Amino acid sequence: FPIDITFKSTNPSGWPQIVVSVYGPDFFGNDVVRGYGAVHVPFTPGRHTRTIAMFVPESTSRLQKFTSWFTGRRPEFTDPKVVAQGEGREVTRVRSQGFVTISFNVV
C-alpha cells in the first residue's frame, strides 16, 4: 500500500519505525494475529527494500494454549509500541512466523 509521509528532525536518533501487524482467519474463522514486526525507515534518498522477520506471541502453558485455541482468543499485544521497543520483550515468549518485504522510495 503506498504511504506518503514527511518527517523532519534535527536528530536521527529514534528515527521512525514502521510496525506491521498481520491478521488472518484461523480454523474457526476468527481473526487472529499471524505476526508482528518492525523496521526503521531509511533516511537516505533512493529505493530501499527491507525484509521484516515476523513473530507471534505464544501462551506459556499447555492449558493456556488449549484454552486460547478452543476460545479463538490467541495471545496478542494490546499496545503496538511493544513491537518497536526492545525493553520488556525479553520476557515475552514468541515464535518466528515468516517474513514481510517492504519497499521504500525516499526522496
76-95 confidence digits (pLDDT tens): 777 777 777 766 666 677 88
Q: State yes or no: pLDDT of 1 exceeds 60.
A: no
Residue 3 lies in a domain: no
Residue 74 lies in a domain: yes
Tell me, what's the pLDDT at 59?
A: 77
- Pairwise CA distance, residues 6 & 78, whole Å: 27
Which residue range(s) make up the domain with 95?
Answer: 17-106
Neighbours of 54 (CB within 10 A): 21
- What is the chain's mean pLDDT, rounded? 79
Whether this model's pTM surpasses 0.85: no
Residue 63 lies in a domain: yes
Tell me, what's the pLDDT at 47?
A: 94
- Pairwise CA distance, residues 23 & 104, whole Å: 22
Residue 2 lies in a domain: no
Residue 5 lies in a domain: no
Residue 7 lies in a domain: no
Q: State yes or no: pLDDT of 70 exceeds 90.
A: no
Count of structural domains within the chain: 1
